[in-house]
Structure 1
Amino acid sequence: MGTTRSTPPVTKLADARKAMYQQQIVAAAEYEFSRTGFADARVSDIAKTAGVSLATVYKYFGGKDEIWDALNAARMQEFVAAVRVRTDGIDSPLEAILVGAHAEVEFFAAHPHFLQLHINEGLSWASASAEAGRGGQRAAWRTGMEMITRAAELAVDAGQITHLSPRIAAALVISALQIWLTDWVSEGKTTPIEAVADAVVAHLRVSLSAGRA
């Protein structure tokens, strides 16, 4: 009867150290990207903010583009998870979209540097999944767009959205997020985020169900 070999403690420690440094570097990069924009962010500043040497950054990442991709991938995984937690179990497809939009506003508010770096890019979020955007950013926004489009397809099939295609409905959701969150930031984040989320939901409730009898 064979025996199962466990992972050596040294390997586990090395893996844990690698994950720790990667998370530390990505968090620092998120701050630097939000502060200066991707183009002007320097890897040396990312290393300084992370509290590691430049050699350590290059040990785990090939450069600024690779860090950018890792950041966007990680945040989008968290974004999707946050929406699913709030929408699982909701029977109404339209209501799931609206509850999801509320969660999405709260997610960005909870990650202000991630929000700011996307505002800095100056792109339409609804089209960043196409040719606009940079590297992993396009994949991240494509994931978000596809998730909301699938929800809109269910709402169309259920007769809850009757005047819009699923993709246009999804684009309206994403555009509303960008408009309200950008305004919230420009106004100094003085409005409670719950009120911002409620305003987005109220707008979408009218916009998405406008064609219903």
Structure 2
Amino acid sequence: MATPRSSSTVADIADARRTMYRQQIVAAAEYEFSQTGFTDARMSEIAKTAGVSLATVYKHFAGKDDIWDALNAERMQEFVSAVHARTETVESPLEAILVGVRAEVEFFAAHPHFLQLHINEGLSWASPSGDAGRGGQRAAWRTGMEMITRAAEAAVKAGEITGLRPEIAGALVISALQVWLTDWVTRGKVTPIEAVADAVVRHLHISLGATPT
């Protein structure tokens, strides 16, 4: 006779299935948002791309805005973790910024649909205030801006950045990322991403007042 499943086992299976469906739907939405933009993306197409029914999509998300917020929150958590993993042992605050920038370029290159949907918005990543961005996207931009501004504050305090307020230094970093990554996409992503990262780092060595290497 088969041993009956415990209630905790059944709950674990249900949680795993729920997580799997949410991940499928978020990944499908990320693709659809990158192709058509948020406004024109249709829930039916998200369901089709995810390989699930429209009812299943609505079972896990209230609508497009809910999926959009979940996507931005998930990717931003991954983004912060990727930068932290690369910079946690770097002692120089300025070097940590530059190492972090390289990690950020590589992160966006590894998530091209996420990059594209932000480019599609046509807004400045360095101005995450007021009505800029949409829903969870605003929180994602603020998180990135605050993270880099804190790093710039440490570099200013250490005397590695002079003549710039931390907020301006942070905005320069974010703007450089947007300019170079948008150019990379526009040109068909043919330039090796390592070369793109090198170019951004060289630019920031100069714009942040450091001696270029």
TM-score when normalising by structure 2? 0.94
Instruction: Tell me which moved more, 125-134 or 30-39.
Output: 125-134
- Report the Cα distance in structure 1 between the residues aligned to 2:23 and 2:60, rounded to whole angstroms: 10
- Report the Cα distance in structure 1 between the residues aligned to 2:169 and 2:39, rounded to whole angstroms: 32
Q: Is the 8 A contact 1:30 1:114 kept in 2?
A: yes
- Report the Cα distance in structure 1 between the residues aligned to 2:180 and 2:120, rounded to whole angstroms: 15
Cα offset for 1:131? 2.7
Report the equivalent of 1:167: 167
- Report the Cα distance in structure 2 between the residues aligned to 1:183 and 1:114, rounded to whole angstroms: 16
Cα offset for 1:210? 5.0
- Report the Cα distance in structure 2 between the residues aligned to 1:209 and 1:155, rounded to whole angstroms: 11
- Report the Cα distance in structure 2 between the residues aligned to 1:195 and 1:130, rounded to whole angstroms: 34
- Report the Cα distance in structure 2 between the residues aligned to 1:202 and 1:129, rounded to whole angstroms: 28
Report the equivalent of 1:3: none
Cα offset for 1:84? 0.4
Q: Is the 8 A contact 1:129 1:145 kept in 2?
A: no
- Report the Cα distance in structure 2 between the residues aligned to 1:176 and 1:203, rounded to whole angstroms: 8
Q: Secondary structure at the match of 2:208?
A: helix
Q: Secondary structure at the match of 1:127?
A: coil
Cα offset for 1:128? 2.8
Query: Structure 1 residues 177 and 7 mapped into 2: Cα distance closer, same or farther (>3 Å)?
Result: farther
Report the equivalent of 1:72: 72
Report the equivalent of 2:35: 35
Report the equivalent of 2:56: 56
| Aligned residue-pair number | 206
In structure 1, runs of 5+ residues without a counterpart are 1-5
Q: Is the 8 A contact 1:149 1:169 kept in 2?
A: yes
- Report the Cα distance in structure 2 between the residues aligned to 1:130 and 1:180, rounded to whole angstroms: 25
Instruction: Tell me which moved more, 124-133 or 172-181.
Output: 124-133
Cα offset for 1:178? 0.3
- Report the Cα distance in structure 2 between the residues aligned to 1:105 and 1:49, rounded to whole angstroms: 27
Q: Is the 8 A contact 2:160 2:210 kept in 1?
A: no
Q: Secondary structure at the match of 2:159?
A: coil
Cα offset for 1:209? 1.9
The one-letter code matched in structure 2 to 1:28 is A
Q: Secondary structure at the match of 1:125?
A: coil
CA RMSD of aligned residues (A): 1.3
TM-score when normalising by structure 1? 0.94
- Report the Cα distance in structure 2 between the residues aligned to 1:54 and 1:82, rounded to whole angstroms: 33
Cα offset for 1:121? 0.5
The one-letter code matched in structure 2 to 1:209 is G
Cα offset for 1:43? 0.5
Q: Is the 8 A contact 1:94 1:155 kept in 2?
A: yes
Report the equivalent of 1:15: 15
Report the equivalent of 1:112: 112
Percent identity for Structure 1 against Structure 2? 78
